[in-house]
Structure 1
Amino acid sequence: MGKTSNKIYIIGHKNPDTDSICSAIAYTALKNKISSKEHCARRAGQINEETQYVLKRFGVEAPVYMSDVGTQIKDIEIRETKGVSSSISLKKAWQLMKDENVVTLPITDKENRLEGLITIGDITTSYMEVFDSAILSAARTQYKNIIETLEGTMVVGNEHGYFVKGKVLIAAANPDLMENFIEPDDLVILGNRYESQLCAIEMNASCIIVCEGAKISMTIKKLAEERDCVVISTPHDTYTVARLINQSMPIKYFMRKDKLITFKTEDFTEVAKEVMAKKRHRDFPIINKKGFYVGMISRRNLLNMTRKQLILVDHNEASQAVDQVEEAEILEIIDHHRLGSLETISPVFFRNEPVGCTATIIYKMYLENKVEIEPHIAGLLCAAIISDTLMYRSPTCTAFDKAAAEELAKIAGIDVEEFAHEMFHAGSNLKNKSPEEIFYQDFKKFSVSGISFGVGQINSMNADELEEIKGKLIPYLDKAYQEHGIDMLFFMLTNIIAESTEVICQGKDAKSVVESAFDVKSDSDSYILKNVVSRKKQLIPAFMSAIQQ
C-alpha cells in the first residue's frame, strides 16, 4: 500500500516562534516548486499569539501539528492480505493461503472490521485433532460449503441451508444394520445402493451424500423432498468424502477472536518490535484510525521500514527538535543559530548563515532559484525577519536582513513600522493567557558542560504590559523548574522600544550565572540588562561563557 514516507516534512523547533513557522511554510512552498518530491510543512508545538496574527493576516493555515517523528506502522510496507468471510470453508481458506503464500488469514465483516484470524496451524489442528463425529453440525456448516468441498451438486434441498444437528457417519453396512446406528438429523455418506439411500431417508437423516456420481432415482428424490432430507451427489468415493468433509466447516468455528494482537497505523514501530519479541506470531493485523482492517505486517516488514524524512528549519539542537528526531532521516538543516548537538545518520545539506533570521536565508534561496515570491509568502518571510530582529533593533540583525525585509514588505504590500507594531501588540497581548501559556510561547532548552538550562522570552513595546506579565510568571517559575528537571531556568521580558531586557530566574546557580555573565547585582531574582534584546546572540553566549568558567 502507499506509504507516508514518500513525503518530506519541513519542521521548526518546539515552542515555535514566528520565524520557525513562517520559514517552514515558505521553504515548503519553494521546495514544492523546485523539487519533484512532495514537501509538507509541520509544527512541533503550539503556535503563539504573534504567529497566529501573522498567519491570519496573510490568510495562511497553520501547519499540521507533529508531536513525534518516530517511524510508525503506516511508514512501513503493509501487506494487503484481503480479509475473508467467516463463513468460508477450511478448505477454501487453505487454498487462499497457498495462493497468497501466507500463513495467516484475516477474517472481516461486511464493513471490513476485523473479526478474527485463522492460521495454517489452526487448520491443521482442525484436521488432525478433531475426532468428534458431531463437529460438522456443531460448527453449523452450510450445505454450500459441503458441496464446494466435495465438488458436488445439490440434488434435493437448499444449498444455503445449514447442517446444525446430528453426526456424520458412513453407511457401509446393509440396511438392516443401518437402522441400529442412524439417528434423526444425521448426515449419511453412502454409495449407489437404493436400499441404503431409502433406509437413511426413512430414518429421518437430515442429509445424504451419494458418492461416485451414482444415479439417484426419482423415488429417492421424491421421498427426500417429502421428508425434508437434503441430497448431495459427489464424484468422489466414500473414503475421499469421509476425508474431505470436515474441511467444509466454516472457519469461524476455529478462528481466533479473543485477545487478538493488533496494531494501529499510527502506532510507533518501537512499540511493535517489543510486542513482536514477546509474541511469536508470524503475522499481525493492522487497523486504521477509523477501526477498519487495512493489512498485515510481520517482523520482516520492520527490517525494511523507511524512516520519516525531515528538513529542519531555525534550529539544530537535539533538545529543541521534535520528539524522536533521532529515529528520522534528516535531509537538510536551514538555520542561523550556533552549531548544536544534533547528529545525523548520513551527510546532509546544511546551510547556516550569521544573519538575524532563518527567513532571510529562505529569501536568499528564492532569489538563487529564481522563483517568484508570492505576496502571502513575502508577508510571512517579512514578519519572521521583523520578529526575530525585533524590527532591526537586535544585534543579530544584519544589513541584508533589513534589505530583505524591506523588499519583502513591498511584495506583500505592507508598511513595516505599522505592521510591526500590530504584530508585537498581538504577541504581547496576553491578558487572558495563563502563566503556563505565556511561559511556553517561546521557550528553548540548552546544555553546556553537563549543565542544562532553559530560556523563555516575551517581546513587547509596552512597559506596563511587561510588568503585568512578570507578575504572572514569577509564581509559575518554580513549577516549570521542577517539571523540566533542569539546573537553571530564565525568562526574558524584552522591551523593544527601550532596547532592554528584564531577566527573572530560578535554580541554585541561576543568579550567579546572570551576575557573572553581565556584571550586574540584584537583591531579588530579577535583573535589568540594558541593551540586551537577543537571546541567541547576547544572552546565550554570555551564559555559556559564565557556566564554562
Structure 2
Amino acid sequence: MKNQLEDRTLIIGHKNPDTDSICSAIAYSYLKNQLGDATKYVPRRAGEVNEETKFVLDYFHQEAPQLQKSVETQVKDAPVLTGTGVNREISLKKAWELMQEKKETTLAVVDENQKLEGVITINDIAKSYMKILDNTILSKAGTSYASIAQTLDGKFVAGDEHGVFSKGKTLIAASGAEHLKESMEEGDLIILGDEVQCQKEAVDHHAACLIICDGAKIGQEIIDQAKAKNIVVIAVEHDLFTTVRLMNQSLPIGYFMTTKDLDTFTLEDDLIEVKEVMAGVRHRDFPVLDAEGKFVGMFSRRCLLNAKGKKIILVDHNEKTQAVDGMEHADLREVIDHHRMGTVETVGPIYYRAQPLGCTATIVYQMFKENGVEIPKEIAGLMCSAIISDTLLFRSPTCTPVDKEVGMELAKIAGIDVNAYANDMFAAGSNLKKMTDEQIFHQDYKQFALGKMTIGIGQISSLNADELVTLEKRLLPYLEGVVAEGEESMIFFMLTNILEESTSLLCVGEGAEALIEKAFALEGKDDVIRRTQMIYLPGVVSRKKQLVPALVVSV
C-alpha cells in the first residue's frame, strides 16, 4: 500500500526575507485556504526573520512561518511504500508469505519501538535453503516452538507453547529405535512417525521436542511422560518428507537478516542524493526512517518514477538568485510580485501577477477583494505593516496612491494609528546594536544578475542618523570580505535615513563607485558628499525603483 501524499503548496518569499516577503506569504496562504480547493497552502520563509518583522509578528500574535532551506524534491515527496516492519522472531515462511502478499522483495525488521534492526530479502530466504548443512541450526537460531508449529500447521499436544529450541540437534527417526538411541542426546529435536518404540526412546532420553508426522496417533502414556518432563510434542498432518522439507522454514528471520552497512534514507533526504546511492548498489528496496530513527516505509526504484517536485508559489520576488535553494526542481505554480521581471523560468504556463505597486501586500489585498474574502484583523495588520515597511510609510518613490489607500484601509481594519505604529516598527528594525555584522548584512540583502555579472544590494532603513554612521564604519570591512570570497562582483549597501529620505551608499568591489557615479550622473561633480567607498545619494530610498533601474541602464 502506498502512502497518501498531502496535496499542499508552499508559499514562500525571497532569501533574507523582509517584512513584505513574510507577511505576504502568510496573508496569501490564508486567502488561498479560504477559496475552498483541496490543496492546503502553507506559508514558508527562506531565511531568518529580521527584527522589524519580529516586531510585526509579535504585535499581531502571529507565528513566523517555518524555515524552508530548500525545495529540492525529497523522499517524502514520493509515494513511499508504507509498512510497520516485522519482528525478528517471525519465520522464514511467514516472511515469504508477507512478501508474496505485499508483492515486495524486502522486509524491514524492527524492534518494539519501530527502530530498524535489519532487513531480510527474498534473496536471503533463497540462500537459507541452499547453504544450511548444519543439523543444529534450529537451536543456534533460537527457533521458537510456536514458529515450528505454525510453519508445519501443527498442533501442540504437550509442553510449553512459548518455549524456544535453544540446545541440541535435529534428528529424523527413520531407522528404528536402536539407531535413535545411539544417535540422540538429551535436548535434541526428533522428527518421527507412528513408531511407538521410537516415541518412547525419545521421551526416555529427554528430547527437547517431538514432531510426530502423518497424523499418527500419540498414546496417552507418551503424552503424560512428555508433560512430566516438559517435553514439547507437536502433532503434524504432513508426511515425514514434507515435514523435514518445511522445518528450516520455521527459522527466525533474525538469524539471516542483514544488520551491517544498511543503506537507509530519511524522509528529508533529497532525491538527487538518493539516486546516487541507489545507482551504486544492486538491491532494490531501502528502508526509510523518520526524524526519530523509526521505520516508516520502503523506498524502491519505482518510487523515483512517481516522485513529484514540491508545489510552490513565489511572493515578493521572481529572481532565481533570490529564490529558495532547489527551486529549479520544484513545481512552480504562481508568482505574485511587484518587481521587474527576473530570471525565473518554468516548463509550462503559470499564473503570473506582477503590478507596478510599492508592495506585494497591496496586490494580495486586491486579490482578497476580487474573491470577496473578508480580511481578519491580524491579517490586515500584517499586510499594512508590509506596505508601511516597503514604502517607508508612503515616503518611498515606489509608493503609489493605491498603496497609500490600501495601507490606510488595512490600518483601519487592524485598529492601528499608522504614524505611531510605524515609528515603533521602524525603531524595532533599527535596533541593531546586539546584531553581528553578518546578521545586519543578511537582514535585507538580494542578489541581481546585471549583464554578465552578479551584484548584491542590501539595505538598512533607520530613523537614527548616528546609528547609520556607525554602521558605515562597521560594515565596510565585512562587505570587502564578502566580495573577496563570494560570487558577487560588486556589493552596494544602502544605509537609508527614513526621516531625511536619503541614502549613504556603500560601494565595494572593483569599479563599484565608478558605476554609481555613472548611474546617477555624478562624474566631475564637486558637491557630491563622498567618503571612502561611500557616496551620499539625497532623495534615493528605493532599491527597486531607484537604485536597480539606474544600475541596469548604466551597465
TM over 0.5: yes
Contact 1:5 1:306 in 2 (8 A): no
CA distance in 1, matches of 2:225, 2:408: 99
1:62 to 1:228, Cα distance in 2 relative to 1, 3 A: closer
Tell me the secondary structure at the aligned position of residue 418 of structure 1.
Answer: helix
Contact 2:189 2:208 in 1 (8 A): yes
Tell me the secondary structure at the aligned position of residue 432 of structure 1.
Answer: coil
CA distance in 1, matches of 2:36, 2:45: 21
- Given candidates 281, 284, 289, the residue that maps to 1:282 is 284
CA deviation map 1:320-379 (0-9, x unaligned): 001101111111101010000001122110001111111111111111112222222222
The letter of the residue matching 2:541 is V
- Given candidates 385, 394, 397, the residue that maps to 1:395 is 397
Q: CA deviation at 1:2?
A: 5.1
Matches within 5 A, 1:308-323: 308-323=310-325
Matches within 5 A, 1:72-91: 72-91=74-93
Tell me the secondary structure at the aligned position of residue 119 of structure 2.
Answer: strand
Tell me the secondary structure at the aligned position of residue 443 of structure 2.
Answer: helix
CA distance in 2, matches of 1:523, 1:491: 14
Match of 1:264 in 2: 266
Match of 2:40 in 1: 38
Q: CA deviation at 1:534?
A: 0.6
The letter of the residue matching 2:166 is V
The letter of the residue matching 1:154 is F
CA deviation map 1:271-291 (0-9, x unaligned): 111111111212111111122
In the TM superposition, structure 1's runs of 4+ consecutive aligned residues that sit over 4 Å from their partners are: 1-5
2:537 aligned with 1:529? yes
1:5 to 1:489, Cα distance in 2 relative to 1, 3 A: farther
CA distance in 1, matches of 2:127, 2:114: 27
2:549 aligned with 1:541? yes
Tell me the secondary structure at the aligned position of residue 535 of structure 2.
Answer: strand
More moved, 520-529 vs 57-66: 520-529
- Given candidates 69, 72, 86, the residue that maps to 1:70 is 72
CA distance in 1, matches of 2:227, 2:389: 89
Q: CA deviation at 1:5?
A: 4.9
2:238 aligned with 1:233? no
The letter of the residue matching 1:315 is H
Tell me the secondary structure at the aligned position of residue 400 of structure 1.
Answer: helix
Contact 2:3 2:82 in 1 (8 A): no
Tell me the secondary structure at the aligned position of residue 508 of structure 1.
Answer: coil
Tell me the secondary structure at the aligned position of residue 305 of structure 1.
Answer: coil
Contact 2:84 2:295 in 1 (8 A): no
Match of 1:211 in 2: 213
CA distance in 2, matches of 1:413, 1:393: 22
Match of 2:526 in 1: none
The letter of the residue matching 1:31 is K
Contact 2:84 2:114 in 1 (8 A): no
Q: CA deviation at 1:479?
A: 2.1
Tell me the secondary structure at the aligned position of residue 468 of structure 1.
Answer: helix
The letter of the residue matching 1:153 is K
The letter of the residue matching 2:31 is L
The letter of the residue matching 1:435 is D
1:528 to 1:179, Cα distance in 2 relative to 1, 3 A: same
CA deviation map 1:203-246 (0-9, x unaligned): 33222221111111222223333444322211111111111111
Match of 1:172 in 2: 174
Q: What is the TM-score normalised by the length of structure 2?
A: 0.96
Q: CA deviation at 1:530?
A: 1.5
Tell me the secondary structure at the aligned position of residue 281 of structure 1.
Answer: coil
Contact 2:19 2:385 in 1 (8 A): yes
CA distance in 1, matches of 2:316, 2:501: 23
2:329 aligned with 1:327? yes
Match of 2:13 in 1: 12
CA distance in 2, matches of 1:474, 1:171: 92
CA distance in 1, matches of 2:172, 2:157: 19
1:103 to 1:194, Cα distance in 2 relative to 1, 3 A: same
Contact 2:60 2:381 in 1 (8 A): yes
The letter of the residue matching 2:262 is L
- Given candidates 487, 490, 502, the residue that maps to 1:488 is 490
CA distance in 2, matches of 1:523, 1:368: 50
Match of 2:453 in 1: 451
Contact 1:309 1:330 in 2 (8 A): yes
CA distance in 2, matches of 1:205, 1:4: 55
- Given candidates 182, 187, 196, the residue that maps to 1:194 is 196
CA distance in 2, matches of 1:237, 1:33: 69
CA deviation map 1:50-101 (0-9, x unaligned): 1111111222221111111111111111111331111111111111111111
Q: CA deviation at 1:42?
A: 0.8
% identity of equivalent residues: 51
Q: CA deviation at 1:3?
A: 5.0
CA deviation map 1:476-527 (0-9, x unaligned): 1122223422111110001112111111121112122112112336462110
- Given candidates 318, 336, 339, the residue that maps to 1:337 is 339
Tell me the secondary structure at the aligned position of residue 218 of structure 2.
Answer: coil
CA deviation map 1:420-443 (0-9, x unaligned): 222111111111111111111100
Q: CA deviation at 1:4?
A: 5.3
Match of 1:146 in 2: 148
Match of 1:128 in 2: 130
Tell me the secondary structure at the aligned position of residue 10 of structure 1.
Answer: strand
C-alpha RMSD of matched pairs (Å): 1.5
Match of 1:349 in 2: 351
Contact 2:494 2:505 in 1 (8 A): yes
Structure 2: runs of 5+ lacking an equivalent: 524-529
2:29 aligned with 1:21? no
Q: CA deviation at 1:201?
A: 2.5
CA deviation map 1:436-455 (0-9, x unaligned): 11111100001122111101
Tell me the secondary structure at the aligned position of residue 300 of structure 1.
Answer: helix
Tell me the secondary structure at the aligned position of residue 257 of structure 1.
Answer: coil
* Number of corresponding residues: 547
Contact 1:3 1:76 in 2 (8 A): no
1:463 to 1:156, Cα distance in 2 relative to 1, 3 A: same
More moved, 77-86 vs 474-483: 474-483
More moved, 218-227 vs 406-415: 218-227
1:530 to 1:163, Cα distance in 2 relative to 1, 3 A: same
Contact 1:381 1:408 in 2 (8 A): yes
Contact 2:160 2:230 in 1 (8 A): no
- Given candidates 515, 531, 536, the residue that maps to 2:517 is 515
Q: CA deviation at 1:174?
A: 2.4
Match of 2:527 in 1: none
CA distance in 2, matches of 1:383, 1:217: 90
The letter of the residue matching 1:101 is K
Tell me the secondary structure at the aligned position of residue 81 of structure 2.
Answer: coil
Structure 1: runs of 5+ lacking an equivalent: none
CA distance in 2, matches of 1:438, 1:223: 86
Q: CA deviation at 1:108?
A: 1.4
Tell me the secondary structure at the aligned position of residue 243 of structure 1.
Answer: helix
